[in-house]
Amino acid sequence: MGAAALTVSFYLRRQMVPGRAPGHPSLLLGLLLVAVLVGSIVLLFPWGPSAAIVSNEASCLGTGLILAIPSAFAFLWLARRGVFLAHGEAGATVGLLAGLVGATVLQFRCPLIEASHSAVWHVGIVVASGLTGLLAGRLSALRSTAP
């Protein structure tokens, strides 16, 4: 999780500097990030789906998203110093970073340490935050170009 957060933060910094060559799209970064997270979870944690996966899903997903919201505002406050040419890309990157914070904090709190639960619901926090950031960035771009 730390390596993923470091990679996403470097990508966000690269987007903030005007005149830089565009890197890979945030969608590619998000897909690669999700694949690496799911792969590492499957390799590191025991695989044993149980009935507890269904009972804890709302709790874990909700808690992780609640944890991601304040971190998203903190990252937006920091990112406001840069100049973004693609608002959707920047929003998705900030959302991915906030989702990683929420999933990392939740990983320490969650009592269910199984690969199936973590791969679906904890990584789902990163996916949901990234998509929310993408939509917020695109809406911001539309609002700033409206007459």
| Residues 129/68, Cβ–Cβ less than 8 Å | yes
pLDDT tens per residue, range 17-37: 666 655 667 677 788 888 888
Question: How many alpha carbons fall within 13 Å on the CB side of residue 114?
Answer: 16
The identity of residue 78, as a single letter, is L
- Is residue 112 classed as helix, strand or coil in its secondary structure? coil
Q: Which two tokens stand for residue 105?
A: 């904090």
State pTM to two decimals: 0.83
Nearest to 94 by CA among 135, 58, 64: 135
pLDDT tens per residue, range 43-85: 888 877 665 555 657 788 888 999 999 999 998 888 887 777 7
How far is residue 71's CA from residue 94's CA, in Å, rounded to a whole number? 9
